[in-house]
Amino acid sequence: MALFGKSRDINLFHTINSELLKDIIQTEIAYYKFALEQTTSNVYGESMGKVYYEPMKVACLIDKQNQAWSSDDFGSDVNQTIEFRFLKNELKDINLVPQVGDLLLFKNNFYEADSRVENQFFMGRDPDYALSQETSEHGDSFSIIINTHISRVEKLNLIPLRGGKYPTTTQVVGGLAVDNPAINP
């Protein structure tokens, strides 16, 4: 029978990690969850435009790779991969299950999720997959890592915000430009 790794030890680590991530590091991203039910597809299962839910602000650690530039007949292009590292409990609290195809907004760039990795276990155990009753109360799964690549804004049909503000809009009424108070409060 294991002596360490029970709920009291696990709660201590969850509390320390949460405080470290939210109060000290304070790196947040906007997470756009892919809405499969609202996305229309053709007979081949392909979709011309994906639909996403409104973004959620989530704290995480970020491991950036250097940008790689390439050139071809169409011009130059930039590629970049980033790992976003989340605390699993924080995602459970907001009912977010990361999946391939979701979007993450960081530094005014959109990153599309390529893969999900969940293999960081406290005490080397995940109680959800315990084979015996003795170990079902020991260990925990702590983090989820999302591997992403930079995605073009034009492909996503989204407009990134500049400086955290929406652009001003003007409504044309009877040939005259009128500020729309419904859009610009």
Q: pLDDT of 75-119, one tens digit each?
A: 777 888 999 999 888 888 888 889 998 999 998 889 999 999 988
Kindly report the three-state secondary structure assignment for every residue of 7-42.
HHHHHHHHHHHHHHHHHHHCCEEEEECECCCCCCCC
pLDDT, averaged across the chain: 75
Q: Residue for token digits 């990361």?
A: 98
Q: How many helices (H) and strands (E) does the chain have?
A: 3, 11
Rounded to two decimals, the pTM is: 0.69
